[in-house]
Structure 1
Amino acid sequence: MGIFSLGLGELHLDHMKNYQVLFGRIFPLGESGQIRLNLAGGVGYTVITEPTNWKPVSSNSWLGDNYKYDIERHSTVSLIINPRFEFPLATAIGITLYPMLQINKDRTFIGLGAGIMLGRLRKKTDLSPESTSLISHGQDP
């Protein structure tokens, strides 16, 4: 810890690590199907690390920590509900916005997220002049 940190050098936060297996189904939204809803859910293995047993430090120094604490670590199984709004921008890249609900025996977590999608997201669109013509082929105008 540096002399200028004023006790803020190390943040004492709860940490949750998640390993998830999700299954879902994609529903196109709108006429073009460019925006889609991926209703996903599944199970997760969650590891929770949190500071506990806080004790004040009997030091008069304002440059150090004010409290000492113990670290508690435990794991649990979680139910994950994670619907996603997907926006494929091209055939291989897109963005996704999503709420997430995670329920386990210790706590419930609700959050919002954003992500990048990579891979085959949609079929290539034929942009040749013949396919974009307003004249229907095989019929007389």
Structure 2
Amino acid sequence: MGAAEVLATARAGLQRLTPHEAAAAVAAGALLVDTRTPVHRAEQGELPGALVIDRTVLEWRLDPACPHRVPEATGYDVQVVLVCRHGYSSSLAAASLQAVGLHRATDVVGGVEAWKAAGLPVDDGPADVRP
């Protein structure tokens, strides 16, 4: 199976959100999690209110049963909305979070590029980086 097929399989299990739907979900209490690299965040801007969690530790920071979780990871019913630069790696990350039990994990169609194109806010930070 190639990368495109893995991505399609991941997305088949997600209820992906448009940027405006994602902003509404965050306003209603969802966690917005930014997995972009520092370079991409510097180029594109920071997302106000987002937790920045490196993709390499994402599952451990958001799994409520993990001793290395962030305080916001309070239960498996928490809605987590992931965002990356273009909306590809965030789909894979959301599927991985669903696999560890976060059944409401999803991502933003088009990533931060679509977020900005929709006129949603970005700023210069500081970012809420969670190591």
TM-score (norm 1): 0.21
Ranked by relative contact order (alpha carbons within 8 Å, sequence separation 6 or more), the top structure is 2
Give the TM-score, by structure 2 length.
0.22
Q: Which has the larger radius of gyration?
A: 1
Which structure has greater helix proportion? 2
